[in-house]
Protein backbone atom coordinates (compact mmCIF):
# COMPACT_ATOMS: atom_id res chain seq x y z
CA UNK A 1 0.00 0.00 0.00
CA UNK A 2 1.28 3.48 -0.80
CA UNK A 3 0.29 7.15 -1.08
CA UNK A 4 0.81 9.38 -4.09
CA UNK A 5 3.00 11.74 -2.03
CA UNK A 6 4.11 9.44 0.79
CA UNK A 7 4.03 10.27 4.49
CA UNK A 8 6.90 11.86 6.39
CA UNK A 9 6.88 11.19 10.14
CA UNK A 10 9.63 12.33 12.50
CA UNK A 11 10.39 11.34 16.08
CA UNK A 12 11.92 13.85 18.47
CA UNK A 13 12.99 13.85 22.10
CA UNK A 14 15.82 14.11 24.56
CA UNK A 15 18.45 11.47 25.16
CA UNK A 16 17.01 8.14 26.30
CA UNK A 17 13.43 9.00 25.35
CA UNK A 18 12.92 5.74 23.45
CA UNK A 19 12.67 7.13 19.91
CA UNK A 20 14.68 4.38 18.27
CA UNK A 21 12.76 1.56 19.97
CA UNK A 22 9.43 3.14 19.03
CA UNK A 23 10.49 3.70 15.42
CA UNK A 24 11.37 0.02 15.02
CA UNK A 25 8.01 -1.12 16.43
CA UNK A 26 6.08 1.32 14.27
CA UNK A 27 7.92 0.12 11.16
CA UNK A 28 7.18 -3.51 11.96
CA UNK A 29 3.46 -2.84 12.49
CA UNK A 30 3.01 -0.68 9.40
CA UNK A 31 4.82 -3.19 7.18
CA UNK A 32 2.49 -5.93 8.42
CA UNK A 33 -0.39 -3.70 7.34
CA UNK A 34 1.05 -3.60 3.83
CA UNK A 35 2.85 -0.25 3.77
CA UNK A 36 6.35 0.34 2.49
CA UNK A 37 8.22 1.90 5.42
CA UNK A 38 11.64 3.54 5.28
CA UNK A 39 13.27 3.89 8.68
CA UNK A 40 16.12 6.39 8.87
CA UNK A 41 17.88 8.82 11.19
CA UNK A 42 19.55 12.20 11.47
CA UNK A 43 22.27 13.07 11.24
CA UNK A 44 22.92 10.17 8.90
CA UNK A 45 20.86 7.89 6.71
CA UNK A 46 23.19 8.12 3.69
CA UNK A 47 26.98 7.92 3.44
CA UNK A 48 27.86 11.63 3.28
CA UNK A 49 25.44 12.42 6.11
CA UNK A 50 26.86 9.55 8.20
CA UNK A 51 30.36 10.96 7.63
CA UNK A 52 29.17 14.36 8.85
CA UNK A 53 27.57 12.62 11.83
CA UNK A 54 30.99 11.27 12.77
CA UNK A 55 32.42 14.80 12.79
CA UNK A 56 29.53 16.21 14.82
CA UNK A 57 29.61 13.44 17.40
CA UNK A 58 33.40 13.55 17.81
CA UNK A 59 33.43 16.42 20.29
CA UNK A 60 32.61 20.01 21.15
CA UNK A 61 32.39 22.73 18.51
CA UNK A 62 30.95 26.18 17.94
CA UNK A 63 27.12 26.15 17.89
CA UNK A 64 26.92 27.88 14.50
CA UNK A 65 29.41 25.43 12.98
CA UNK A 66 27.34 22.60 14.39
CA UNK A 67 24.12 24.07 12.98
CA UNK A 68 25.59 24.31 9.47
CA UNK A 69 26.93 20.75 9.65
CA UNK A 70 23.54 19.41 10.70
CA UNK A 71 21.88 21.37 7.89
CA UNK A 72 24.35 19.99 5.31
CA UNK A 73 23.77 16.42 6.50
CA UNK A 74 20.01 17.06 6.47
CA UNK A 75 20.06 18.26 2.86
CA UNK A 76 22.03 15.26 1.63
CA UNK A 77 19.75 12.90 3.54
CA UNK A 78 16.60 14.52 2.15
CA UNK A 79 17.59 14.49 -1.51
CA UNK A 80 19.23 11.05 -1.47
CA UNK A 81 16.83 9.09 0.76
CA UNK A 82 13.75 10.83 2.14
CA UNK A 83 12.36 12.55 -0.97
CA UNK A 84 12.85 9.53 -3.30
CA UNK A 85 11.02 7.33 -0.77
CA UNK A 86 8.15 9.81 -0.46
CA UNK A 87 7.88 10.10 -4.24
CA UNK A 88 7.26 6.38 -4.54
CA UNK A 89 4.56 6.57 -1.85
CA UNK A 90 6.42 5.17 1.16
CA UNK A 91 6.00 6.10 4.81
CA UNK A 92 9.29 7.58 6.03
CA UNK A 93 9.95 7.39 9.78
CA UNK A 94 12.93 9.55 10.70
CA UNK A 95 14.67 9.56 14.09
CA UNK A 96 15.20 13.35 14.46
CA UNK A 97 14.81 16.14 11.92
CA UNK A 98 14.95 19.95 11.89
CA UNK A 99 13.30 20.25 15.32
CA UNK A 100 16.44 18.77 16.88
CA UNK A 101 18.51 21.61 15.42
CA UNK A 102 15.99 24.20 16.63
CA UNK A 103 16.30 22.81 20.16
CA UNK A 104 19.96 21.79 20.43
CA UNK A 105 21.54 24.72 18.58
CA UNK A 106 18.70 27.25 18.68
CA UNK A 107 17.53 27.02 22.29
CA UNK A 108 20.30 25.24 24.18
CA UNK A 109 23.15 26.50 21.97
CA UNK A 110 21.84 30.05 22.23
CA UNK A 111 21.62 30.83 18.50
CA UNK A 112 17.87 31.37 18.60
CA UNK A 113 15.17 29.23 17.01
CA UNK A 114 14.53 31.62 14.11
CA UNK A 115 18.22 31.87 13.19
CA UNK A 116 18.65 28.10 13.15
CA UNK A 117 15.49 27.67 11.08
CA UNK A 118 16.86 30.24 8.62
CA UNK A 119 20.08 28.19 8.32
CA UNK A 120 17.94 25.14 7.54
CA UNK A 121 15.46 26.74 5.13
CA UNK A 122 17.52 26.06 2.02
CA UNK A 123 18.43 22.59 3.27
CA UNK A 124 14.84 21.44 3.71
CA UNK A 125 13.42 23.53 0.84
CA UNK A 126 9.93 23.55 2.37
CA UNK A 127 9.91 19.83 3.18
CA UNK A 128 8.46 19.64 6.68
CA UNK A 129 7.09 16.44 8.25
CA UNK A 130 3.44 15.48 7.98
CA UNK A 131 3.68 14.62 11.68
CA UNK A 132 6.21 15.00 14.48
CA UNK A 133 5.94 12.85 17.59
CA UNK A 134 7.76 14.40 20.54
CA UNK A 135 8.75 11.81 23.15
CA UNK A 136 8.59 13.65 26.47
CA UNK A 137 10.43 12.27 29.50
CA UNK A 138 12.15 13.71 32.56
CA UNK A 139 15.86 14.09 31.74
CA UNK A 140 16.99 12.11 34.78
CA UNK A 141 14.83 9.17 33.68
CA UNK A 142 16.15 9.33 30.13
CA UNK A 143 19.76 9.39 31.32
CA UNK A 144 19.08 6.41 33.58
CA UNK A 145 17.87 4.46 30.56
CA UNK A 146 21.07 5.32 28.68
CA UNK A 147 23.22 4.06 31.55
CA UNK A 148 21.25 0.81 31.65
CA UNK A 149 21.56 0.20 27.88
CA UNK A 150 24.98 -1.33 27.29
CA UNK A 151 24.43 -1.56 23.52
CA UNK A 152 23.58 2.11 22.95
CA UNK A 153 25.83 4.41 20.92
CA UNK A 154 27.07 6.93 23.52
CA UNK A 155 28.07 10.40 22.34
CA UNK A 156 29.20 13.64 23.94
CA UNK A 157 25.60 14.90 24.16
CA UNK A 158 24.81 12.02 26.54
CA UNK A 159 27.64 13.06 28.85
CA UNK A 160 26.41 16.61 29.39
CA UNK A 161 25.22 17.63 32.90
CA UNK A 162 21.57 17.24 33.91
CA UNK A 163 20.97 20.99 33.53
CA UNK A 164 21.81 20.71 29.82
CA UNK A 165 19.22 17.98 29.32
CA UNK A 166 16.64 19.98 31.27
CA UNK A 167 17.12 22.82 28.78
CA UNK A 168 16.60 20.36 25.93
CA UNK A 169 13.24 19.34 27.39
CA UNK A 170 12.25 22.98 27.84
CA UNK A 171 13.24 23.63 24.23
CA UNK A 172 11.07 20.85 22.85
CA UNK A 173 8.13 22.09 24.90
CA UNK A 174 8.61 25.56 23.37
CA UNK A 175 8.71 24.50 19.71
CA UNK A 176 4.90 24.44 19.16
CA UNK A 177 4.72 28.11 20.17
CA UNK A 178 7.06 29.00 17.29
CA UNK A 179 5.38 26.82 14.66
CA UNK A 180 1.78 26.13 15.81
CA UNK A 181 0.71 25.23 12.27
CA UNK A 182 2.93 22.13 12.24
CA UNK A 183 1.43 18.80 13.47
CA UNK A 184 3.43 18.24 16.68
CA UNK A 185 2.08 15.67 19.14
CA UNK A 186 3.54 15.06 22.59
CA UNK A 187 3.76 11.45 23.77
CA UNK A 188 4.38 10.64 27.44
CA UNK A 189 7.54 8.56 27.06
CA UNK A 190 7.76 7.79 30.78
CA UNK A 191 4.99 5.19 30.37
CA UNK A 192 5.55 1.49 29.77
CA UNK A 193 7.00 0.90 26.27
CA UNK A 194 3.85 -0.81 25.01
CA UNK A 195 1.66 2.07 26.20
CA UNK A 196 3.96 4.56 24.45
CA UNK A 197 3.72 2.45 21.30
CA UNK A 198 -0.08 2.31 21.47
CA UNK A 199 -0.34 6.08 21.96
CA UNK A 200 1.96 6.72 19.01
CA UNK A 201 0.16 4.27 16.73
CA UNK A 202 -3.21 5.85 17.53
CA UNK A 203 -1.88 9.21 16.31
CA UNK A 204 -0.36 7.49 13.29
CA UNK A 205 -3.63 5.71 12.48
CA UNK A 206 -5.49 9.02 12.59
CA UNK A 207 -2.97 10.52 10.15
CA UNK A 208 -3.27 7.59 7.75
CA UNK A 209 -7.09 7.74 7.90
CA UNK A 210 -6.98 11.47 7.14
CA UNK A 211 -4.59 11.00 4.21
CA UNK A 212 -6.64 8.17 2.72
CA UNK A 213 -9.75 10.34 2.90
CA UNK A 214 -8.10 13.32 1.19
Q: What is the pLDDT of residues 61-108, one digit of tens each?
A: 999 999 999 999 999 999 999 999 999 999 999 999 999 999 999 999
Q: What is the pLDDT of residues 159-198, one digit of tens each?
A: 889 999 999 999 999 999 999 999 999 999 999 999 999 9
The yes-or-no verdict on residue 152 having pLDDT over 70 is no
Which residues sit opposite 91 in a β-bridge? 7, 37
Please return the burial class of 95, using the count of CB atoms within 10 Å of its CB with bins 0-12, 13-18 and 19+: buried
Q: Dihedral through CA 189, CA 54, CA 68, CA 110, nearest 10?
A: 50
To the question of whether residue 20 is assigned a binding role by annotation, the answer is yes
User: What does the pLDDT average to over 138-143?
Assistant: 95
Q: Using alpha carbons only, how large is the chain's radius of gyration in Å?
A: 16
To the question of whether residue 202 is assigned a binding role by annotation, the answer is no
pLDDT band at 5 (very low <50, low <70, confident <90, very high): confident
User: What does the pLDDT average to over 149-155?
Assistant: 69
**Percent of the chain with pLDDT strictly greater than 90:** 86
pLDDT band at 4 (very low <50, low <70, confident <90, very high): low
The yes-or-no verdict on residue 118 having pLDDT over 90 is yes
To the question of whether residue 19 is assigned a binding role by annotation, the answer is yes
In the chain the domains, ranked by start, together with CATH numbers, are: 7-206 (3.40.50.300)
To the question of whether residue 13 is assigned a binding role by annotation, the answer is yes
To the question of whether residue 18 is assigned a binding role by annotation, the answer is yes
User: What does the pLDDT average to over 1-16?
Assistant: 86
What confidence score (pLDDT) does residue 7 get?
Answer: 97
> Average pLDDT, whole number, for the chain?
94
Amino acid sequence: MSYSKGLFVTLEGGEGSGKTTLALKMKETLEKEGFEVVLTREPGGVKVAEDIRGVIMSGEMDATTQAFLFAAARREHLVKKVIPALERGAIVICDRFVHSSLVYQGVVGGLGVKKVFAINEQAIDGKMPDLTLYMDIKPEDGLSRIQADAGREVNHFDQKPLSYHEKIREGYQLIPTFYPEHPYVTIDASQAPNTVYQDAMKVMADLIKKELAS
